[in-house]
Chains A and B, each alone.
Chain A
Amino acid sequence: MTGLVIDDVSMTFELPNGGNVEALKNINLEIKEGELMSVLGPSGCGKTTFLNILAGFLAPTAGVMTLNGHNITGPHPERGMVFQHGALFEWMNVSHNIGFGPKMKGTPQVEIDAKVEELLSIVGLQDFGEKMIYEMSGGMQQRVALARCLANDPDVILMDEPLGALDALTREKMQSLVLDIWKKTGKTIILITHSVEEALLLGERLLVMAPRPGRVHKEYKLPFAELGVGADLREVKRHPEFGPTRDEILNMIWDMEEEIMGRTENA
């Protein structure tokens, strides 16, 4: 059985005062190999918890996840992660950051060098291999983070709001880059985002999550990611279905936020 299977996963946190928070409740999903899925939801819906469980940083309180048939029990290079702020190693230069994964495995340096060169050109940083991380802008740092993740050739790439901290223009370029990489490498990518437009553009499949308890509220199958590969993303946004879908999801999240606010006020 290939692909990622999430079977009835729940996550309940105990609060210090004795109460419980159901961060995730009965999540059931099957994600096929090579699928590009975006996850959207209001804050507190458990999407980051969900990603941390998939990465293996947290163990769910109930349920099982399998990747290509074996259980997920901890972090593993088969599941790469791209963090919101890069989480790069600033004491290494760009090349060493990208080559970190292969180096840990003991890959011969010649192979690492070749791999790093290839990835630098994929993410558009050909001449930046010797640069230190602190000499680079936020967008460039995220390119390095992407390349570092790809260097390990993971089966699944988990992205935790990777473009959230970038300015609008850089963000647009990076969205194209993510689509390119998805198409070129055929990796399974799960991307969490706050931006509805980004979720529409970067998801063949879009998951809207709802809070308290964190659960899958609605799922969409979307054509925009496929259309966006190698194309102008602004063109894609003019697609007749783009606007209405965006508004529908925005309204949905708006209502959820309203409900949370109402509940807190009444409490």
Chain B
Amino acid sequence: MGKEILDVLGVTLWMIVGIIGIFALYLAVSGLCYLVQRAYYRGRDRAKGYTSLKTVTFGDESAVTGNRMASVAAVITLFLFWGIATGSKLLPPILPQPFVGESAFEYTAVNAAGESATGTVLVQVNAADSDDKSKPDPASVVGASFAKTDVVVVAERRAKLVKVQSNDDGGDQDGYTVTAINGKPIAPEETVSFDDGDVFMTAKGSLSVRPATGMTMEALYLPPPEKVWERFIQLNKEGYLGVGLWENVFWSLIRVVVGFALGCLFGIPLGFAMGLNSWLRGWFEPIVEFMRPVPPLALIPLIIIWFGIGEQGKISLLFLAALWIMTIAARSGVSGVNIAKVHAAYSLGATKKQILTKVILPNSLPEIFTGARVAMGVCWGTVVAAELVAAEKGAGKMIIAASKFSLTDIVIIGIIIIGVIGYLIDVLMRIAERRLVPWKGKA
């Protein structure tokens, strides 16, 4: 217990260092861009409008608008970082790249008889995505002595054992040892570098060759942008695991729309009932108040036990995710109705039904829309999580399946698409809100 807490503390401190480092780098670039744009705009008359005449802007939130140029520069910077860190081919190499190609080193061995000889190891390093099966020809370097030329083929960044003794005369006799690499002495558990990598001697005396790894990130962790783009094109054409890319997205969206619609269909009337009737409010309050703070993700196991992994389970989950949010939004919409408006409507001769449809419903629309935006966001997050757990199709299913095969590029494409669609949903909801509730915030 105590050690685990210490671990948490250690991780936290390490993260603080990391976060500060990343932010410092990003802010430094931001500062640089700012200086550049300020120098560019110096002396040019560009500020227009009322806000530009305000002398107090620090502290006046309305005078602070997102600088578009900063946003564009920030996104470009992000992609540049991505490209640099992954050694993208679209950029000139900035960080040292991992070694790919042919190299060689010499080893010095002593045989049982105590004679010393020097042999050559030809190293061929293939790029990670290369299908090249060819090997360098050992005959091209003649091993004149008992130490014969060896060949090792290794993928970039990977280490590989090379048993130099296996083809050497007397290599299987006791007393045969490798003593030096390129003239530098080596012993078990020691590492010696050669031109394009390192050689490590294991405890048993075998050699392990690791070509230079460079400083860029491996595609397994973060593929370069162009790889992701190529994969995107490929996914568009072929899909993944027999399901088209947009088919996956479409299925996630369908579930969200159906679940959300069901949530609205039942949640809004339920909220109205709770806002209009003491008995019904008392009746439903305990369950609504209890279910509201339960994260929908916590229901996934139960839903799977009840409904299995089919569509019914997922739609039920999304229904539950949207239901409570919409209920509470509708209820607070009703309680937000100015009583004077209801009084006015009664005085004008409206019946209860007319009060509901002509006064309470439109008056609670702003609240309902706020709730709907939250509910859509929660549903979108929940559907992806539910698909991660179990699904046949869907954006979440695609990325979890890809992650099992270490197809990081597909995972990244999935994340980007999920983010973009989540954002588009919110934009659409805001447009709908502006068209349907133009009086919001203006009363």
- B350 touches which one: A55, A104, A132, A148 (CB < 8 A)? A104
State A79–B363 Cα separation when bound (angstroms). 24
Whether A91 pairs with B349 at a CB distance below 8 angstroms is no
Determine the chain B residues whose CB is within 8 A of the CB of A41 once the complex forms.
none
Given A87-B340, A87-B341, A90-B439: A101 and B348 within 8 A (CB)? yes
State A241–B351 Cα separation when bound (angstroms). 47
Whether B347 pairs with A75 at a CB distance below 8 angstroms is yes
Determine the chain B residues whose CB is within 8 A of the CB of A55 once the complex forms.
343, 347
Q: Quick one: closest A residue to B354, CB to CB?
A: A104
Whether B439 pairs with A104 at a CB distance below 8 angstroms is no
- B349 touches which one: A76, A83, A84 (CB < 8 A)? A76
List residues of B (321-372) whose CB comes within 8 Å of A's CBs: 338, 340-341, 343-351, 354, 358-359, 362-363, 365
State A134–B344 Cα separation when bound (angstroms). 18
Interface size on A, residues (CB 8 A): 28
Given A89-B359, A91-B363: A83 and B348 within 8 A (CB)? no
State A89–B347 Cα separation when bound (angstroms). 14
B44 lies within 8 A of chain A by Cβ: no
B438 lies within 8 A of chain A by Cβ: yes
Determine the chain B residues whose CB is within 8 A of the CB of A75 once the complex forms.
343, 346-347
Min CB distance, B75 to chain A, in Å? 37
A42 lies within 8 A of chain B by Cβ: no
Determine the chain B residues whose CB is within 8 A of the CB of A50 once the complex forms.
none
- A132 touches which one: B340, B351, B359, B439 (CB < 8 A)? B439
Q: Quick one: closest B residue to A87, CB to CB?
A: B340
A115 lies within 8 A of chain B by Cβ: no
State A39–B443 Cα separation when bound (angstroms). 29
Whether B359 pairs with A77 at a CB distance below 8 angstroms is no
Whether B443 pairs with A83 at a CB distance below 8 angstroms is no
Q: Which of A74, A81, A104 has the most CB of B within 10 A?
A: A104
A85 lies within 8 A of chain B by Cβ: yes
State A149–B359 Cα separation when bound (angstroms). 16
Whether A83 pairs with B439 at a CB distance below 8 angstroms is no
A224 lies within 8 A of chain B by Cβ: no
Whether B347 pairs with A81 at a CB distance below 8 angstroms is yes
B68 lies within 8 A of chain A by Cβ: no
Determine the chain A residues whose CB is within 8 A of the CB of B438 once the complex forms.
132
State A100–B357 Cα separation when bound (angstroms). 13
B404 lies within 8 A of chain A by Cβ: no
A105 lies within 8 A of chain B by Cβ: yes
Q: Quick one: closest B residue to A96, CB to CB?
A: B358
Whether B347 pairs with A77 at a CB distance below 8 angstroms is yes
Determine the chain B residues whose CB is within 8 A of the CB of A81 once the complex forms.
343-344, 347
- A57 touches which one: B343, B437, B442 (CB < 8 A)? B343
Given A91-B439, A132-B438: A79 and B341 within 8 A (CB)? no
Q: Quick one: closest B residue to A79, CB to CB?
A: B347
- A134 touches which one: B349, B350, B359, B442 (CB < 8 A)? B442
Min CB distance, A52 to chain B, in Å? 8
Whether A83 pairs with B365 at a CB distance below 8 angstroms is no
A53 lies within 8 A of chain B by Cβ: no
Q: Quick one: closest A residue to B365, CB to CB?
A: A91
Given A76-B349, A104-B348, A134-B442: A91 and B362 within 8 A (CB)? yes
State A90–B344 Cα separation when bound (angstroms). 13
Whether A89 pairs with B341 at a CB distance below 8 angstroms is yes
Min CB distance, A219 to chain B, in Å? 26
Determine the chain B residues whose CB is within 8 A of the CB of A203 once the complex forms.
none
Min CB distance, A77 to chain B, in Å? 4
Whether A77 pairs with B365 at a CB distance below 8 angstroms is no
Whether A134 pairs with B439 at a CB distance below 8 angstroms is yes
Determine the chain B residues whose CB is within 8 A of the CB of A88 once the complex forms.
341, 344
Whether B349 pairs with A105 at a CB distance below 8 angstroms is yes
State A74–B362 Cα separation when bound (angstroms). 24
Whether B439 pairs with A152 at a CB distance below 8 angstroms is no
Q: Quick one: closest B residue to A133, CB to CB?
A: B439
Determine the chain A residues whose CB is within 8 A of the CB of B346 once the complex forms.
56-57, 74-75
Given A89-B359, A91-B362: A152 and B349 within 8 A (CB)? yes
Determine the chain A residues whose CB is within 8 A of the CB of B439 once the complex forms.
90-91, 132-134
Given A132-B439, A134-B442: A100 and B343 within 8 A (CB)? no
Interface readout for A65-82 with B: 1 if CB under 8 Å, 0 if not?
000000000111101110
Min CB distance, B338 to chain A, in Å? 6
Min CB distance, A130 to chain B, in Å? 14
State A76–B345 Cα separation when bound (angstroms). 10
State A133–B440 Cα separation when bound (angstroms). 12
Determine the chain B residues whose CB is within 8 A of the CB of A85 once the complex forms.
340
Interface readout for A137-155 with B: 1 if CB under 8 Å, 0 if not?
0000000000011001000
Determine the chain B residues whose CB is within 8 A of the CB of A105 once the complex forms.
349
Q: Quick one: closest A residue to B366, CB to CB?
A: A91
Min CB distance, A111 to chain B, in Å? 15
List residues of A (153-167) whose CB comes within 8 Å of B's CBs: none
Q: Quick one: closest A residue to B344, CB to CB?
A: A87
Chain B contacts to A: CB under 8 angstroms: 338, 340-341, 343-351, 354, 358-359, 362-363, 365, 437-439, 442-443
9 contacts between A and B (CB under 8 A): A55-B347, A75-B347, A81-B343, A83-B344, A87-B343, A91-B365, A100-B350, A101-B349, A104-B349
- Other than the given A57-B346, A90-B439, 8 more pairs (CB < 8 A) read A55-B347, A57-B343, A79-B347, A83-B343, A84-B340, A89-B345, A104-B351, A104-B358
Which 5 pairs between the two chains have the least Cβ-Cβ distance?
A: A87-B340, A77-B349, A101-B348, A134-B442, A75-B346
